Amino acid sequence: DDETKKEIITPGDSVSIENSGSRPLEYIPPNPSQVLKVEKGDHCKDEPVELAALFKGSAPTPAWTEAQSTRSLTVPAGSVPEKETIPF
């Protein structure tokens, strides 16, 4: 099932997707350097956007990593200007 969650992640934190089922997951978008673009509200478009474009000036550039059944993304500290929110 597709599931959308809306949460706020503070730079320096990680977000993870865990596959607790027995079926392999197909990540969309499959490229570890991309996420889906957000429309109004919580809805994602089928349009990938590069994480480097969202988090400009981040070093290293954020990217999804996979380990066993979990895919994780760490947003580097200092990658988001103060009082700014970057939706994805």
> Does the structure show a pLDDT above 80 at 65?
yes
What is the total count of domains within the chain?
1
pLDDT in tens, 28-39: 788 889 888 777
Percent of the chain exceeding pLDDT 90 equals 0
> Binning pLDDT at 50, 70 and 90, where does residue 21 land?
confident
In a domain, 79, yes or no: no
CB 39 within 8 A of CB 45: yes
Residue span of the structural domain in which 45 resides? 14-74
The SS3 call for residue 53 is helix
In a domain, 1, yes or no: no
Q: Which two tokens stand for residue 65?
A: 């990593």
pTM above 0.95, yes or no: no
pLDDT in tens, 2-17: 555 666 777 777 777 7
In a domain, 81, yes or no: no
